[in-house]
């Protein structure tokens, strides 16, 4: 076996059309509705787990990048929706640290891995829909996180909004029908 020398992570081929054809209202609720719609498309098409995220420029409301869960199709445990969105946003802007005018919107609270990536990413805002317990209820392991993780992010200057459109976020997870990894 040859030693791998590159990482190849991709979004599903339907994502560019979704981004081009799906409007987004310039509010927290509008941005979260956009992310949850992205997740609905992910589940309906069967292209990965029921998680979705997007990085927005909060000044312009521009979608900088989106992400959906790609763990199984890419054989990469790091390919969570938040990691995909953050990485693609950094690549799109040509930076390793996003401006704090960027916000990460996620269909579910971050797991332990994604929580660690948030402060290093540079975003100034994290907005979540479903809670970790909703993901765990369908079989996902969210990992160990400090109970006061929102306060820890806030102490680092990252504004945290939780449970936005939470019923819709939980319904997205439930529509997936259980963890398949």
Decide the pairing of beta strands 159-161 and 125-130.
parallel
What is the separation of C-alpha 19 from the centre of its chain, rounded to a whole number of angstroms? 15
Is 82 annotated in the active site? yes
Q: Radius of gyration (Cα) for the chain, nearest Å?
A: 15
Q: CA angle, corner 141, sides to 68 and 66, nearest 5?
A: 15
Active-site residue identified among 37, 62, 82, 154:
82
Q: Which H helix or E strand runs over 159? A: strand 159-161
Decide the pairing of beta strands 62-68 and 52-57.
antiparallel
Q: What is the DSSP letter of 104?
A: E
Give Cα separations from 28 to 46, 129, 158 (angstroms).
27, 11, 15
- Which residues have a catalytic role annotated? 82
């Amino acid at each position: 076996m040859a030693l791998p020398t590159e990482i190849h992570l991709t979004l599903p081929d339907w994502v560019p059309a979704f981004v081009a054809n799906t409007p987004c209202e310039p509010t927290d609720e509008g941005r979260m509705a956009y992310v949850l719609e992205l997740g609905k498309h992910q589940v309906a098409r069967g292209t990965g787990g029921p998680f979705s995220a997007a990085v927005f420029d909060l000044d312009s409301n521009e979608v900088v990048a989106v992400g959906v869960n790609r763990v199984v199709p890419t054989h990469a445990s790091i390919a969570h929706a938040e990691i995909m969105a953050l990485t693609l946003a950094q690549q799109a802007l040509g930076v390793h640290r996003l401006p704090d005018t960027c916000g990460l919107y996620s269909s579910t609270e971050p797991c332990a891995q994604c929580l660690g990536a948030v402060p290093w990413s540079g975003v100034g805002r994290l907005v979540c829909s479903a809670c970790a317990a909703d993901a765990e209820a369908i079989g996902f392991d969210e990992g160990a996180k400090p109970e006061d993780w929102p306060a820890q992010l806030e102490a680092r200057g990252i504004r945290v909004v939780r449970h936005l459109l939470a019923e819709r976020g939980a319904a997205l997870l439930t529509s997936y029908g259980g963890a398949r990894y």
